[in-house]
Structure 1
Amino acid sequence: MPGHLRVACVQMNPLHNQVERNCEYALNMLKKREHELKGLDLLVLPEMAFTGYHWRDADHIQPVLEPANGRTHKWCKSVAKMLNCVVCCGVPRKIRRKRMNSMIVTSPKGKVVEHVDKVHLYESDKTWAQPGEGFTSVEAVEGLPMSPVGFGICMDINPADFKAPPEKFEFANFHLEHKSKLLVFTSAWCKNHPDDRPEAFAEKSDAELSQETIDAWLSRLRPLHGKEVIFVCANRVGKEELRLLGRDSDLCNQFCGTSCVIALQDQTVVKSLSASEEDVLVADIPIPGG
């Protein structure tokens, strides 16, 4: 479609430590919507899409840390060629002695063209991961009709360690400076911080949780409001036990879903999913200035 970007976001509930099952599950989700995915430019999956998110330490996560030829990498290469589109997917990976929470960026030809590493680690990452060296914006990604393309992973959008002044907007100001026009965001955005008091884990309605999540993302992207920038986010759903983090607790953390496409020029939510449904969001977006 001339002057348009066609994107899809997979919103799913991966089963913890069941990589093969989750890869097959995501593929089946796509096959069920195959007729809508013709002409797709970009497919985005959540942070650590096939492994689960909570891990108590480096030994715990070791079996699912991926080398460059790991299962998630192979899935992305295969699906990129199948759909003839760019695929972005979250994965925990090992690079020599380093352990990184990363995003794979795969071209329509099935080639990994970028590894994006999470810079601002969340409490759940700090049990096993090391931070990336800096945020990422690239001049162009083969197969995408918008550029430059910026990337981010969940906590990256927040102040570093929640200690930097909120008005510093490290992530948004980086992409403002680098003139990113398309922001690709993979996420496992949680309803609660692991250290929250038990009463904070009370259930909320899908509508309330989705609105809070959208508001949080828009708030953190404020320097980009009024700019011709498209924000594309794939966030996971479901729950994981805090025990997986090594906490002595019966509580579960809920993931907030709400995968979405937002035009930051006027903060319009072009399309979004609910806080709990497993689905594939498909949207056609007019390219600003295109």
Structure 2
Amino acid sequence: MDRWGERRRVVPVQGAKLAVFEYGPDPGRGVPTLLLVHGYPDDHSVFYPLISELAPTHHVIAYDTRNAGLSSVTGKPGSFALPTLVDDLYAVLAATQASEVHVVGHDWGSIQAWAAIKDVRAAGKISRFTSVSGPDLQHYVWWMRERLRHARQWPQLMGQLLRSLYVAAFQVPVLPEAVWHFFLTGAFERTTGRRVGDNPVRGLALYRANFLSVEYRRPPLPVSIPVRVVVPVKDPFLSPRLVDGLEDWVQELTVTYVDAGHWWPATHAPDLAEFLRTEFGPGSA
């Protein structure tokens, strides 16, 4: 038997083939289902510590997002725009016949999941959402504009802009690819103890396809499902204040601050597992 009873499949979608992995018992009576969505520059293996914690009692689905890990794009480079990524997420749910799923997103996986829970397809499919270090892009733009309008909040705005300088750097052609290839990939792998291969270069398309889009200038849409936002206070990329105002449009919101860095789901998997067990309720784990 493979690790944690792993079952693999390939899900074809428009312009890509997604590598999908399932762990633990098959979904059924009394077995809760989790969908894990990774961020940049990772693939689904970033969740191995969490899967190890939960696979004995939960049906766990994870997948490599398009052109990360074992997933690939087909033909010419396809779209990496957020609506396409949301379509990918729902294609995975359809292929695995999953419903009433608790989605857990980290970094770019969380950004995708924020958009997915506001999609009309969420009804009956997604029951709750845990977000770690990945803001809703509409809320992010709204947050920035609110601080721009009020001089007393300019320090918050400047602090986040400084944290986000890498996003602007990723828009430059060729240079980010070279820096990752010759310098950053090795340093990242040594620091984290995880192999990412060419994921950093392949994933640059996420930033180039989304952060200049005018679509995210619209006000955030309301969310009715329960949402927990985990805020690692030592995250070098995201200000802890980015959660301010979420309560205006997320009806059931829990914000949890943790004394950790950006990759908290990997470095503190037992803590995340305990949150998830609690949210499924007594007797479900």
User: What is the TM-score normalised by the length of structure 1?
Assistant: 0.33
User: What is the TM-score normalised by the length of structure 2?
Assistant: 0.33
Q: Which has the higher strand share?
A: 1
Q: Which has the higher helix share?
A: 2
